Structure 1
Amino acid sequence: MKTITAYFTSQIHLQAFIKQNDIQDSSQLLIQIFTSNNELAAITKLTNFFANHFPLAQLIGSTTDGEIKDGYVSTNKTVISFTLFEKVKLKTYISDTFENYYQAGQELASALVEENSKVIISFIDGLEGNGEEYLKGIHSIASKIIVAGGLAGDNATFKKTYIFTKEKVVSRGVVGVSLSSESLNVFTDYSFNWIAMGKKLTITKAKDNRVFTIDGRSAVDTYIYYLGEDIGEQLPYIGIEFPLIIQRDGLDIARAPIGREEDGSLIFAGNLHEGDEVRFGYGDIDAILGRTQTHVDKLFNVPVETIFIYSCMARRRFIPEAIEYETLVYNQIAPTNGFYTYGEFYCSPENKELLNQSMSLLALSESSTLSNKKVTLHSNHKKSSTVHALSHLISVSTQEIDSIQKELKILASTDPMTKLYNRRYFTDISTNIFQIAKREQESLSIIMLDIDKFKNINDTFGHRTGDSVLIKLSKLLQKALRTSDVICRYGGEEFVVLLPQTDLDGSAVVAEEIRKKVEQTVLKIEKNSIKFTISLGVSEVNFEKEHSIEQTLNRADDAMYASKNSGRNRVSQKESVSNSKA
């Protein structure tokens, strides 16, 4: 395997470069073009040149927000990378005829992936392209294939991007090349190191990659509220410096805004879902560059013959003077080329992810020879003690806010005495579980239970003993029930249990087991041996007649009081019972 790269200035100079380096047309020659030139005519002229002079070679290309040639970063240039393989089979695909990007990913994977395919290098439209859905589509067809590449750029004008092959240039579409060979070694990595800051915010309304509201505010107003009017006026362009950060599969993933709508919503480079918890991200140059050596060291004792970097535009624009510190060092290991994207692809062991604000790396080798070259990063970048102190302050303050938020969340959702969920939390979670069970057509049941003659316990032994009885019952319930069951202290001596995937007969069996365990329990407090019983009522949701969990809850409550009226210490599962209370 050999990679040779050139800047394109004219066809005459390109022909001279090809002749000088003896680059021959071959079905095992991969040509990648990374160009800042967004003129359709210019791109078409260049691709026609390769169609005429390299009919056997495979070519994919993308417009950019910056280019990488042999580790050097440029703008307003066109980089052409020639990689000649010895054993790898190459196959390209391009399409702009699909209903959505999930389908586009499925169709590309179906067309490209073969039995020994190791990796797909792919570029998609940077403005309309939904990279997350696209990767999901690929994953649904070929879960083990590695995907590298990213979203096309257009020099941050956010008007039109292009991706292309020799035969076709499209502004809305997908392109990819599969690399198939048993002897191909593939290594991937990514570098992020943006700092999450402030409290967690919740996405309250979103559809795919369009976010309408965050914590009830419009997405634009949320940026203005936390970062100021000046930042709000510069959206979406300034958004690359302050992305939203979410954690998925153990990865910190940024979502940067790339579009702004009149209704105050923002279009992000990847999906965000209702209920997602996010924080604003802050870029610290020292933190970003400080981890470069760690990532470079990962390539020690790894087979490497060529490296491709697909990095986020935000990194280049955030640290333009220092950005080459994290690219040139890789060229000391192997030829390093690529471009700056509007979103980069990365494969983790669990999934395929669309990243923002990250630098993704693809290292390839047909040789099994391990790289034993120790490379040390030499940076002239001067660290700022002030910036470092502020970054540390942001990090520590964020951790403290997170800790406080967790404590407040626990306080808001749990009963302080029994440590069970409280009535407020039960109301919220039961509604969600009701909707899920209805959608999935699964059984859902409720147990209501109450301590019999609890007032007598308090009057006879005192309220402290009564509290001990409540705590003991709580522990018995936690031990007897599944982790998927929701247990709540509903009020006073009354408890409620929500049992997913459980029908009426099943919940009645569970209720009877609980009743027996309670009946057999002896609570010893000082010199007193206290026994107590409970009355229980069960009901199953009837989705044809009941439109909310409250209706089922009322029937369980009625059934529980039927047990009390029938002598207590028993389980009732009547569907229609008296409203009288005992």
Structure 2
Amino acid sequence: MHINSAGEWESDSTKACGQDAGLALVFWSDTDQKTVTAAVKSLKTHCPQAIIVGCSTGGIVSGGTFLENAMSATLVSFEKTRLASVAARLRDHEDTRGLCRHLAANLPSAGLTHVFVLSDGLLVNGCALASGLAEFLPAGVGITGGLAADGERFQLTSIVHGQEILFGGVLCLGFYGEALKIGQGTRGGWLPFGPERMITESHDNVLLELDGESALELYERYLGKHAKNLPASGHLFPLYLREAGSSNWVVRTILGLDRKSHALLFGGEMPRGATVRLMRGNMDNLLDGAQEAAERARLDDDDALAILVSCVGRKMLLKQFVDEEIDTVARILGPRTTLTGFYSYGEIACGEAGEACLLHNQTMMVTVLQEQR
């Protein structure tokens, strides 16, 4: 379903599942809060039994189509799978770890097999969120999700839970029972270049110095003409990061900057002593990454739902070819898989080295849900 020019929900399919839907996944791009609030309230009349969850985005995946300046809802019905959800604001807890403890404690644990998480993309520390959920949710429960976005503005993001719009909030959607199979794949496609550098001054997700030099000035030198468009243009040049004592690399991307303090704000922790390299990508590499993510997530040739969470930075590089990324995933998953999702400020999924839950940047993350018959 999507919101038409009159502000009303309009069906994209002949399948009438609204009254029976147990879940409504709602994503919007460049849509004002008044419209979102009214649309969510109206959606409840179309699917009165559904748990409604969603977020603001940098672009929407709806079926096999990429949408901007739009709002869409994917209605999902399960035969054997139970659902539960919980949401909270960061401001109501001492820190992100406390928020995660609260979310885990208020999400029923009996029979829980997977959690899909949506978070404010600017006010919540994505790294702390991922590690906190992994710590407090029951062992063996899968975790995937993403951070809400605000296009290329990086000003204000939000999530929706039920009929409430939350700023600085996080929601967890729990899936229960043994009938649901989950496939998950996460891949990037960005390539490192230039020398390795050490983080010599930072705190939390704020990067100040690399090898004793201003990180902002270093970025501006490398970006050249693109520097005037920071922080948005920073998505085209993410950092590859390896913490001291670790062999695992993760991608981190810029979410903001403070020129007065020469600080760069990233989508995850930037610990002192970590090694970093600049990265860049091209269309072919990013499409290869999307294909690999879909191949890892693919299940049987049966009816399934795929939730795609891809990074705003990928969209910025792909530009008019962003539909090809979605087409690549759709081709691998097959015609019986319905696609939904969004472009984000960060992706949450397991790590390539087997870590239970990590914050990723600049990746395509695919979660496939399929009930066994």
**TM exceeding 0.5:** yes
Corresponding residue number in structure 2 for 1:323: 322
1:338 aligns with 2:338: no
Read off the aligned partner of 2:123 and give its amino acid letter.
Answer: E
Q: CA deviation at 1:229?
A: 4.6
Alpha-carbon offset, residue 98 of structure 1: 2.1
Are 1:219 and 1:265, in contact at CA under 8 Å, matched by a contact in 2?
yes
1:137 is matched with which residue?
A: 132
Distance 1:346 1:43 in 2: 27
What are the superposed Cα offsets for residues 120-149 of structure 1, whole Å, 9 maximum, x if unpaired?
111111111211101111111124222222
Quick one: distance in 1 between partners of 2:285 and 2:52?
Answer: 36
Higher relative contact order (CA 8 A, sep 6+): 2
The answer as to 2:260 corresponding to 1:257 is no
Alpha-carbon contact 2:60-2:343 (below 8 Å) kept = yes
Tell me which residue corresponds to 1:22. Answer: 16
* 1:85 aligns to 2:78 (yes or no): yes
Residues 391-430 of structure 1 mapped to structure 2, 5 A cutoff = none
Tell me how far apart the structure 1 counterparts of residues 247 and 80 of structure 2 sit (CA, whole Å).
36
- Which position in structure 1 is the counterpart of 2:312? 313
Gap runs ≥5 in structure 1: 1-5, 369-582
Q: Which amino acid aligns with 1:41?
A: K
Deviations 1:51-96 (A, max 9, x none): 4443421010100100111121121111211111111111111211
Q: Hey, what does 1:554 align to over in structure 2?
A: none
Q: Larger deviation: 114-123 or 269-278?
A: 114-123
Partner of 2:283: 285
User: Structure 1 or 2: larger helix share?
Assistant: 1
Q: Match of 1:238, as an amino acid?
A: S
How far does the alpha carbon of each residue in 1:274-318 deviate from its partner, in whole angstroms, 9 at most, with x for none?
A: 111000011122222235444444456646611110010111110
Cα separation, 2, equivalents of 1:132 and 1:211: 15
Once the 2 structures are TM-superposed, how far is the Cα of residue 22 of structure 1 from its aligned partner? Answer: 2.2
Whole-Å Cα distance in 2 between the matches of residues 220 and 298 of structure 1? 36
Secondary structure, aligned partner of 1:311: strand
Contact 1:269 1:343 in 2 (8 A): yes
Contact 2:235 2:313 survives alignment (8 Å):
yes
| Alignment partner, residue 107 of structure 1 | 102
Q: Contact 1:33–1:60 (CA<8 Å) still a contact in 2?
A: yes
C-alpha contact 1:71 1:329 (8 A) present in aligned 2: no
- Answering whether residue 344 of structure 2 is matched by residue 350 of structure 1, we say no
Separation of aligned partners in 2, 1:9 and 1:22: 18
Look up the equivalent residue of 1:326 and give its one-letter code: E
Q: Which residue of 2 aligns with 1:367?
A: 372
Alignment size in residue pairs: 360
Query: Structure 2 vs 1, CA of residues 154 and 169 (structure 1 numbering), >3 Å: closer, same or farther?
Result: same
Deviation digits for residues 231-251 of structure 1 (CA, Å, limit 9, x no counterpart): 433321111000111247765
1:39 and 2:32 equivalent?
yes
Alignment of 1:421-500 (within 5 A): none
Instruction: Give the superposition deviation at 1:330.
Output: 3.2
- Check if 1:169 corresponds to 2:165: yes
Name the SS of the counterpart of 2:270 in structure 1.
coil
Counterparts of 2:289 and 2:173 in 1: how far apart (Å)? 31
* 8 Å Cα contact 1:89-1:179 kept in structure 2: yes
Identity of aligned residues (%): 24
Report the CA distance shift for 1:12/1:215 in structure 2 as closer, same or farther (over 3 A): closer
Q: Distance in 2 between matches of 1:202 and 1:56?
A: 52
2:240–2:276 Cα contact (<8 Å) kept: yes
Cα displacement string for residues 133-183 of structure 1 (whole angstroms, at most 9, x for unaligned residues): 011111111242222221111111111111012231112111221111111
